[in-house]
Amino acid sequence: MSITQEMRRLGALAALLAAAGPGAMAATTVQSWITSGDRSQLLTPQADARFSDAMVKMAADTPVIVIDPATRYQRIAGFGAAITDASAYLIQQRMSAPQRESLLRELFGRGEVKDAGQGIGLSFTRLTIGASDFSRSHYSFDDMPPGQTDPQLKHFSIDAQRDTVLPTVKAALAINPQLKVMASPWSAPGWMKSGDSLIQGTLRPEAFDVYARYLNRYVDAMKREGVTISALTLQNEPHFEPGDYPGMRVDPAKRAAFIGGHLGPLLARANPGTAIFDWDHNWDEPDSPATVLADPRAARYVSGIAWHCYAGKSDVQGKLHDKFPAKDTWFTECSGGRWSPDWAKNLQYFTKTLVIDTTRGWARGVLFWNLALDENDSPHLGGCKDCRGVVTIDSRSGAVSRNVEYYALAHASRFVLPGAVRIGSSEEANGIANVAFRNPDGSIALLVANGAAQARTFAVKVGKQSFRYALPASSVATLRWKMPE
């Protein structure tokens, strides 16, 4: 072909594109994945949609989600679940090496995984500093016989987790070096408490200094193992004293005194990269963390507030953030269980309430409770007898079942990358809830939940471009695109 012929061909092509309209030369492709309430689709890819400059024709009651990438909110650290003693025990001691490798790559990786499709990229996890109810024994990292103490922490050791939690979190970090690891104690060692027991009681004021050193020693020990603890809470659920597993009541005045006078200054000197989150408890008592943040000495060291789901409503996150906008928000625990058997309702709750609403309420990270439990909702010692893991591992065969929590997490974790920023998007309308993020690579991820009993059609609008999308009843979807520069 001569140069003249080639120029004529390109000119004709340009004329055709111009005639097709201004959107034709830069139509943006939208990828999407759906999980449906009837389980017929589980993170299933859909046909691509496309933005158009033309006006999308819609019924008057069609919801329109307006995306505003210029309006930016919090930066996202990640989504995930806790590597409890129970989860780590099952992964390390009830799975074969190939099963374990496949599961961890599926949970924490993003590449293709044999027999499991794409990894879901979990990038946030929580460890327990000592035992929780999901442990096979009750222990701290410095237990002493009744009546004896160890103020110099000569008996401190993390060996109780050396064969289970440590290899699990280290393997997860090898797969995903961006994994953010936080940790929470369920109790101080019994000899530091009013009842000389891991069960119930409160931290004695004269033990403030040694308990701060205990927590700092844990951070040091994990660092030597190659695990960076990015954040601590001083107590899981500090307003709850369970009767059959480790727990400890720590009221807000005591938490403020401990953080402001002991733990905060020590970490600032010895481990300045480890943040302190206050509260780590339910939505129904926002005055408790507010009291700690109102204490100027404690507030200096508290970087954020951690929330659980078991009482109250998620809107308190945003209300407390409005009062203390310099402090981060985190969502650090919620569990499903046999008490709620409706899969479709659970999908909506975990996706809408625990992912969409919490991140719209400023959460930088979202954590569910046990990463894995077995077919009997175990192992556990006291506490919840019918909680459900994100996955179920058969304790006899090592086979894995993916629960509703897995899909709710995956719709965020696989597509919203660490470092993403939540961006502006319309409030919920006509039963369609949503949240939008801009990833570090410039792509936009939009998570949408349709809680209605019938399929719903909605439109998405960015600037002058828009597209229409149909979502089945009781279903959730993630939509992803990258607008041209």
- Which positions are annotated as active-site residues? 237, 333
Residue 436 to residue 442: CA distance in whole angstroms:
13
Residue 22 to residue 32: CA distance in whole angstroms:
24
- The 3-state DSSP class for residue 238 equals coil
- The 3-state DSSP class for residue 217 equals helix
Q: What are the Cα distances from residue 338, in Å, to 321, 385, 389, 400, 434? A: 33, 9, 11, 18, 27
Q: For residue 8, which phi and psi values (nearest 5 degrees)?
A: -65, -40
Please, which residues have CB within 8 angstroms of residue 6's CB and are 6 or more apart in sequence? none
User: Dmax over Cα atoms in the chain, in whole Å?
Assistant: 97
Residue 331 to residue 363: CA distance in whole angstroms:
6
Q: For residue 405, which phi and psi values (nearest 5 degrees)?
A: -60, -35
3-state helix, strand, coil in the chain (%, to 5): 30, 30, 40
Report the sign of the C-alpha dihedral through residues 370, 376, 379, 383, in that order: positive
Q: What angle do CA 309, 353, 276 make, to 5 degrees?
A: 45
